[in-house]
Structure 1
């Protein structure tokens, strides 16, 4: 895997996504992101590493537009502006990220064997939690009553 760090665009496949988005017309970028997320959210079988890497990058771009999200700060990410993404992409990104860290993910398996595997998983979870925050334990107890 051509990976140099744990960030969403810190691998060859994701860097290519950034380049592809920069080369695409503004009106095509949302459908490109949607296609990447759909492919990862509903894998036919095992989620292959390149599809998972693309999904993490696409999800990071969706997260960047969330009020609680952080901008994508990578020289390998797209430099051209993204269109305003529709709200339904947030749930699609959550579903894709869930698959990325699942037992069916080749990328999760590869990172599971890496020294920074736990940090990578935390980074992916952090992205997911911006879009679908976990219920704090206090509030969870209130729902059980």
Structure 2
């Protein structure tokens, strides 16, 4: 896999995924994103690097539409507009990211062998946090006992 940075579209596989998304009919783009996420989640044994990279890219597209999400600004991302994704893709994207960083994931293993591995894992954690933000904690009790 040709990789030049830790971003979700900064590798050959994700750039190809973006090209495939651009080539899909507008009404099929959600299905392309959903398929990449489902494939990662449903892989029971070893998750190969290409499927992991596509899942991270797909999750980044979903996260970009969430509050606090960052738009995809790299020239390697999709050029064509993506549809507004339904809310159920958020939880699917979280599950896919969890699978990508879990054991038996080639992409995680490859990153863990590099000096940029911790930064890559942190970027995946940031995507996950946008997709499934922690509820705000109240500092003051609502009532006194």
Q: Could you state the TM-score of these two structures normalised by the residue count of structure 2?
A: 0.91
User: Hey, what's the Cα distance between the residues in 1 that align with 2:59 and 2:122?
Assistant: 15
User: Hey, what's the Cα distance between the residues in 2 that align with 1:26 and 1:120?
Assistant: 31
Task: Map residues 88-99 of structure 1 onto 2, 5 A cutoff.
Answer: 88-99=88-99
Structure 1 outlier segments of 4+, above 3 Å: none
User: Hey, what's the Cα distance between the residues in 1 that align with 2:3 and 2:10?
Assistant: 6
Instruction: Mark the runs of 5 or more structure 2 residues left unpaired by the alignment.
Output: none
Residue aligned with 2:123, SS: helix
How many residues are paired up?
139
Structure 1 position 66 matched with structure 2 position 48: no
Which residue is 2:50 aligned to? 50
Which residue is 2:126 aligned to? 126
Q: Could you state the TM-score of these two structures normalised by the residue count of structure 1?
A: 0.91
Q: CA-to-partner distance for each residue in 1:2-43, whole Å, 9 max, x for gaps?
A: 100000000000000111111111100000100000001121
Residue aligned with 1:4, SS: coil
User: Hey, what's the Cα distance between the residues in 2 that align with 1:104 and 1:135?
Assistant: 30
Deviation of the 1:104 alpha carbon: 1.6
Which residue is 2:109 aligned to? 109
Instruction: Mark the runs of 5 or more structure 1 residues left unpaired by the alignment.
Output: none
User: Hey, what's the Cα distance between the residues in 2 that align with 1:68 and 1:4?
Assistant: 25
Q: CA RMSD in A?
A: 1.4
Which residue is 2:21 aligned to? 21
User: Hey, what's the Cα distance between the residues in 2 that align with 1:22 and 1:39?
Assistant: 20
Residue aligned with 1:10, SS: coil
